Amino acid sequence: MGKIVSFLLFLTLPLISIAQQFVPNYDEAKVPTYKLPDPLIFKDGSAVKSKKDWSKRRGEIYHIFEKEVFGVVPEWKGFVRSTLVSLKEDELDGIAKRKEVRLDLINGDRRISVMILIYLPHKSKNAPIFLSYNFDGNHTITTASDVTLPDSWVSNSKEYGITNNKANESGRGEAISRWPLRDIISRGFGVATVYYGDVDPDFNDGFKNGVHRLFDSQRDSTSWGSIAAWAWGLSRVMDYFETDKEINSKRVIVMGHSRLGKAALWAGASDKRFAITISNNSGCGGAAISRRKFGETVGKINSSFPYWFCDNFKKYNNNEDSMPIDQHELIALIAPRPVYVASAAEDLWADPKGEFLSCVNASPVYKRLLMKGFPAKEMPALNKPVFGNISYHIRSGKHDITLYDWQCYMDFAVHYFKFSK
């Protein structure tokens, strides 16, 4: 009898698997009714009435995101050492200087090395600078043959998840469409990029190969995941910027695409030194409202990437309404500094409307701080940006970062930094 039951169970396993297959909702009519938590109401029910009140309420919200979503970063007892690796004075037909700087993050006998590739315009001193991770190595954003290949794990998108992938020359320049360096430098901006795998490899490695291993700490349900590690790495780059006289550390724009857009938002919320924060197609766990359950959901992202967030975040799998926060409050944490959120019309997985609604619902915090906030109530037309202290656009096309996106971000930064380019 036992053998028969086992055989029948074996036959039904494929059916169970099919029944549990995730099917994303892309129908607005099927978005559930939900109520968002109010960022201007304290946990005790009292209201935020002043800037001082917001500072306290911000602390409440931040600690919830720490303990329930991204994870708590342990105390850092190490130090960072920078080394100039290469310098080219005449790049991009003479309009830019290019340098590579290696950061060694050191704690006792443990060390992680992170390479920063930096382009600075010759004609603009103390230029604002975009800081953003890249996905496959610094060498992928340029065809320059002497930009250093990373020696850490690379995703090699065709073989994603293979833990022994290494970068090679075939990837050089493959991501230049996402990095319009000439256009950015010509507008008077610098660019700094880091390969995100240098900071933490993007696979479930038990937190043994990235910056996590620099820390002496026991892991629990609040321990930090990879997104918090990537955000922490951006702050270590900022530490270096403050020592480099060629870089204006007061005008650093932290920007990220997709999962790295999530990291950029958390970096902007965690480190007030970032002057502007930009989220490009960041979706679930980034700018999109989780309670909408549109496209990628909390349950889906936690099953696909269980190491991105802290374990407490898994409590909200298929249980988003019980979350004590939602993603509009992540944007609100950046106030009063400006933030830009962008979506793509064909990127339904990232829930463009949910990203827009986060801007709408974060706006009252900016207005309470006597700022313009977000000046729209309805989704804008394609390729028609809405500019405020919170800005937003939805462009035509797919999940990507394009020249159009960069042009909007530069327009935004020119306005807030008040320089003419």
Q: Which strands make up the sheet holding 79-91, listed edge to edge?
A: 79-91, 96-107, 110-121, 190-195, 129-134, 252-257, 276-280, 339-344, 390-395
Mean pLDDT on 302-323 = 98
Residues 341 and 355: beta-carbon distance below 8 Å: yes
Does the pLDDT at position 67 exceed 90? yes
Q: Which of 116, 106, 120 is closest to 86 using CA atoms?
A: 116
Distance CA 355, CA 331 (A): 10
Residues 371 and 336: beta-carbon distance below 8 Å: yes
Mean pLDDT on 100-117 = 96
DSSP structure class, residue 159: G
Give me the pLDDT at residue 165, please: 65
Comparing 1-15, 68-82, 252-266, which segment has the lowest mean pLDDT?
A: 1-15
- Position with higher pLDDT, 405 vs 10: 405
Tell me the CA distances in angstroms from 352 to 41, 276, 326, 380, 388, one per residue in order. Answer: 26, 21, 16, 11, 18
Of the candidates 86, 124, 186, 399, the residue annotated as catalytic is 399
Q: How confident is the model over 255-294, as pLDDT tens digits? A: 999 999 999 999 999 999 999 999 999 999 999 999 999 9
* Cα 16 from chain centroid (whole Å): 35
Give me the pLDDT at residue 7, please: 46
Report percent pLDDT > 70 for the chain: 92
Mean pLDDT on 53-64 = 98
Q: How confident is the model over 327-370, as pLDDT tens digits? A: 999 999 999 999 999 999 999 999 999 999 999 999 999 999 99
CB neighbour class for 324 (10 Å; exposed up to 12, middle 13-18, buried from 19): middle
Give me the pLDDT at residue 19, please: 46
Distance CA 249, CA 40 (A): 31
pLDDT band at 2 (very low <50, low <70, confident <90, very high): low
Full DSSP string of 315-363:
GGTT-GGG-S--HHHHHHTTTTS-EEEEEETT-GGG-HHHHHHHHHHHH
Give me the pLDDT at residue 8, please: 45
Distance CA 285, CA 222 (A): 16
Full DSSP string of 160-220:
TT-TT----GGGTTTTGGG--HHHHHHTT-EEEEEEHHHHS-SS---S-SSGGGGS-----
Does the pLDDT at position 167 exceed 90? no
Q: Is 224 helix (H, G, I), strand (E, B) or coil?
A: coil
One-letter amino acid for residue 374 of the chain: F
Residues 193 and 117: beta-carbon distance below 8 Å: yes
Distance CA 71, CA 51 (A): 27
DSSP structure class, residue 409: H
HSE toward the beta carbon, residue 314, CA cutoff 13 A? 14
Tokens for 154? 């690379």
Can you name the CATH fold of 51-417? Rossmann fold (3.40.50)
Q: Would residue 258 show up in a list of annotated catalytic residues for this protein?
A: yes
Tokens for 246? 């060629």
**CB-based contacts of 388, cutoff 8 Å, min separation 6:** 363, 366, 372, 373, 374, 375, 376
- Position with higher pLDDT, 344 vs 2: 344
Q: How confident is the model over 125-149, as pLDDT tens digits? A: 789 999 999 999 999 999 999 999 9
Q: How confident is the model over 81-103, as pLDDT tens digits? A: 999 999 999 999 999 999 999 99
Does the pLDDT at position 159 exceed 50? no
Mean pLDDT on 154-175 = 68
Strands 96-107 and 110-121: antiparallel
Category of 390 on φ-ψ map: left (φ > 0), alpha (ψ -120 to 50) or beta:
beta
Residues 379 and 353: beta-carbon distance below 8 Å: yes
Tokens for 107? 């704690």
Give me the pLDDT at residue 203, please: 93
Q: How confident is the model over 243-255, as pLDDT tens digits? A: 999 999 999 999 9
Residues 72 and 310: beta-carbon distance below 8 Å: yes
Q: Would residue 235 show up in a list of annotated catalytic residues for this protein?
A: no
Give me the pLDDT at residue 11, please: 52
Distance CA 62, CA 271 (A): 12
Of the candidates 132, 258, 358, 391, the residue annotated as catalytic is 258
Query: What does pLDDT average to over the chain?
Result: 92
For the chain, the first-to-last Cα distance in angstroms comes to: 80
Report percent pLDDT > 90 for the chain: 87
Mean pLDDT on 177-185 = 97
